[in-house]
Amino acid sequence: MALMAGLRVPARALLRSGCWLRGAALAGAEAAAGLGAGVRRFGSQRVLVEPDPAAGVAVVKLKSPPVNSLSLELLTELVISLEKLDNDKTFRGIVLTSDLCGVFSAGLDLTELCGRSPAHYAEYWRALQELWLRLYLSGLVSVAAVNGASPAGGCLLCLSCDYRVLADSPSCVIGPNETRLGIVAPFWFKDCMVNTVGHRAAEQALQLGTLFPPAEALRVGLVDQVVPEDQVQSTALAAMARWLAIPDHARQLTKSMMRKPTADRLAKHREADVQSFVSFVSRDSIQKALQTYLEKLKQKG
Ligand SMILES: CCCCC/C=C/CCC/C=C/CC(=O)SCCNC(=O)CCNC(=O)[C@H](O)C(C)(C)COP(=O)(O)OP(=O)(O)OC[C@H]1O[C@@H](n2cnc3c(N)ncnc32)[C@H](O)[C@@H]1OP(=O)(O)O
């Protein structure tokens, strides 16, 4: 750990901030990359939005160190950014990626699931449902540029997009590892897995809590392309161009036809799903399992 201005800052987070410095250096090259003069980045503390109005595309970057775990704040900020982009006719597509080195998203923020009140668990779960429904059903083309590890809830974020490009690095594992923590993925995560990789592969991955390395993720169909780390974003943008070549109305109606039945299963039973989560996560055995897992993670660091 390093001490900075009285704050305990993990050394790994400082290392990762090297990415932000590189990002700042790259800012000067934004014009060359398509961000022309007068085009402003926007977003919030944890979600950076880099718009390219000429292309109709915005790159949405998660930047909640150390690991982009889905805290209530990050969920809320992401929903707000997506809502804004969905309602702005300038944009037809988003690329979802991470501003951190080596991690796309560590999934649900486990500190939100441990030692909190039932009211907090309920608020948290509603925010997660909201994000999933918004991203899964968005009229925008969504491409995930997965430039780091993406377990559990991180994998769910990727599966909610239309297309996934994964970095070819051993640390870039992706998959539903919930059972390894002693917890259970919600049915809508299961449905997303089934819709993407088929029933048999989803059943195995969900029961075994498999984290797939890139080549395996590609083989099973969890991601659509695996490319060298430094080509993830450019490949995502090239894929985006192919998707944007299709007229929006036809693509959107088709997307809705494919996805609405899955989304409706949750939309029609949201409150029951919240109560099911609250009672599950409040169990002593689940609290103990989550605490133990979190402690192991911290010791590893
Ligand atoms: C029957 C009814 C069912 C009803 C529904 C019930 C459902 C229950 C909920 C089910 C859904 C769960 C979905 C989830 O997403 S659970 C979360 C799963 N995530 C993980 O297992 C990832 C854990 N993290 C890692 O594997 C690694 O951190 C990493 C992402 C690969 C990055 O590795 P590295 O770069 O080496 O970083 P560190 O491991 O050293 O971590 C740095 C720092 O961050 C803390 N941390 C990591 N992950 C999380 C997290 N998910 N939440 C909170 N905090 C996290 C870690 O503890 C370190 O902290 P310190 O710096 O303080 O040591």
Mean per-residue pLDDT over the chain, rounded: 90
pLDDT-based confidence at residue 26 (cuts at 50, 70, 90) = very low
Which residue type does 78 have? Answer: L
Centre of ligand 1 to C-alpha 96, Å, is 19
Please confirm, yes or no, whether 154 is among the known catalytic residues: no
Per the CB < 8 A criterion, the answer to whether 216 and 227 are in contact is no
Active-site residue, from 70, 78, 108, 156:
108
Whether 66 lines ligand 1, by a CB cut-off of 6 Å, is yes
> DSSP letters of 125-179?
HHHHHHHHHHHHT-SSEEEEEE-EEEETHHHHHHHTSSEEEEE-STT--EE--GG
Active-site residue, from 153, 154, 175, 209:
153
Active-site residue, from 178, 181, 211, 222:
178
Q: What is the ipTM of this complex?
A: 0.97
Pocket test for ligand 1, best of 4, 15, 67, 68 (most atoms within 8 A of CB): 67
Centre of ligand 1 to C-alpha 106, Å, is 5
Whether 74 lines ligand 1, by a CB cut-off of 6 Å, is no
Centre of ligand 1 to C-alpha 11, Å, is 17
Buried b (16+ CB within 10 A) or exposed e, 1-29: eeeeeeeeeeebbeebbebeeeeeeeeee
Please confirm, yes or no, whether 295 is among the known catalytic residues: no
Whether 279 lines ligand 1, by a CB cut-off of 6 Å, is no
Whether 103 lines ligand 1, by a CB cut-off of 6 Å, is yes
CB neighbours of 88 closer than 8 A, spacing ≥ 6?
none
Please confirm, yes or no, whether 178 is among the known catalytic residues: yes
- Average pLDDT, stretch 123-127? 98
Q: How far apart are CA 219 and CA 174, in angstroms?
A: 13
Please confirm, yes or no, whether 153 is among the known catalytic residues: yes
Q: Over the stretch 181-196, which tens digit does the pLDDT of each residue have?
A: 999 999 999 999 999 9
Centre of ligand 1 to C-alpha 67, Å, is 8
Q: How far apart are CA 87 and CA 202, in angstroms?
A: 33
Q: What is the pTM of this model?
A: 0.91
Helices marked H in the chain: 11-27, 30-33, 72-86, 118-136, 153-159, 187-197, 199-208, 214-220, 232-244, 248-267, 270-282, 284-300
Q: Over the stretch 193-237, which tens digit does the pLDDT of each residue have?
A: 999 999 999 999 999 999 999 999 999 999 999 999 999 999 999
58 SS3 class: strand
Q: How far apart are CA 193 and CA 152, in angstroms?
A: 11
Centre of ligand 1 to C-alpha 117, Å, is 20
pLDDT-based confidence at residue 300 (cuts at 50, 70, 90) = confident
